[in-house]
Amino acid sequence: MSISIRPFDGNFGAEVIGFDFETNGNEDTFQLLRDAWVEHAVICIRHQKIEPEFFLKLAKIFGEPIPQLINHKAFALPSHPVISVLSSGHVDTLGSGKPINRGGSWHSDHSNTPQPPSGTILHACQLPSQGGNTRFTNQTLAYENLSSDMKKKIEGLKAKHVYQSKYSTRKMPTRSKVDEAISPTSFHPIARTHPVTGRKAIYLNPVRTETIEGMNETDAQVLLDELLAHSAQDEFQYSHEWKSDDVLLWDNRQTMHMAAADSHLYDRERRMHRLMIKGDTPF
Ligand code: OGA
Ligand code: MN
């Protein structure tokens, strides 16, 4: 049996139906999966009862798994440290000791690195019965709906991405001194070209962007805020309502995402396993 791809009802994203490593895990299927990921920006493969080894095998269809920025044991799976664990029970152990809401505002993963991950994959290990959606924006659609004046204005501009922008409304987990010392800062184009489709997308990360090359910080923040407000319009959003054993893969080169900030609704721990795929230098 071959797989089929069913677009979600929302503005973008798609569900993959019929994928099974045993019966159709061949190169043709893998190529269909890669194409669907790039075409739909977010894809969901349901009913994956996956062990860490299998999760790694699945991720490798899309590229090389890379470690997360924070080398903190609390956020990694002990048997497979390349797999991160995102738990609603996590606290900022190296800092305030208070609960941390990882991913709880619009962002794009690890954008302060010179080659941010092309994709991120989450496996829903345990879900609360209410709340806990992950929301996405389609930054290609957002770019294509900019005015031509705005397209001209951002052409060639590069934003400075740091571990945590001083303008961020969300606090990132406190890091060890070792992690702080290796923390990269990168400059990336705001109008980013997708290496596969050649289409442009608005590349933003309000948690990490501090300024724009050649601009004063105040003007840069005004422009970045304007681009964020434009990108986060309902018509460019998809909100993923998780089912147990969903595997969700998104394309960081053309989306932003955030965990819905509604953990007050949870009746049990929300726990995800995460893998990231090596990316290229944005251009
Ligand atoms: C992530 C992330 C959001 C969520 O894994 O990078 O931002 O809903 N997750 O858990
Ligand atoms: Mn994230």
Strands (E), 99-153: 119-126, 134-138
Amino acid letter for position 184: P
User: Percent of the chain scored above 90 by pLDDT?
Assistant: 80
Q: Where are the alpha helices (DSSP H) in 5-68?
A: 21-24, 27-40, 52-60
Q: How far apart are CA 164 and CA 17, in angstroms?
A: 38
Please indicate whether residue 272, judged by its CB atom, sits closer than 6 Å to ligand 1: yes
Burial 55-78 (b: 16+ CB within 10 A, else e): beebbebbbebbebbbebeebbee
| Residue having the nearest C-alpha atom to atom 3 of ligand 1 | 259
Please indicate whether residue 259, judged by its CB atom, sits closer than 6 Å to ligand 1: yes
Q: pLDDT tier at 154 (50, 70, 90 boundaries)? A: very high
Please indicate whether residue 122, judged by its CB atom, sits closer than 6 Å to ligand 1: yes
7-11, 66-70, 173-177, 231-235 — most confident range: 231-235
Please indicate whether residue 134, judged by its CB atom, sits closer than 6 Å to ligand 1: yes
The pLDDT of 151-178, averaged and rounded, is 92
The pLDDT of 239-260, averaged and rounded, is 96
- pTM, 2 dp: 0.96
pLDDT at res. 180: 83
CA triplet 183, 82, 25: central angle to 5 degrees? 135
Ligand 1 centroid–CA 132 distance in Å is 10
Q: pLDDT tier at 272 (50, 70, 90 boundaries)? A: very high
Q: Provide the mean pLDDT of the chain.
A: 94
| Residue having the nearest C-alpha atom to atom 2 of ligand 1 | 103
| Residue having the nearest C-alpha atom to atom 9 of ligand 1 | 103
Q: How far is CA 126 from the centre of its chain?
A: 19
Q: How far apart are CA 25 and CA 3, in angstroms?
A: 10
Question: Per-residue pLDDT tens for 171-180?
Answer: 888 888 888 8
Please indicate whether residue 109, judged by its CB atom, sits closer than 6 Å to ligand 1: yes
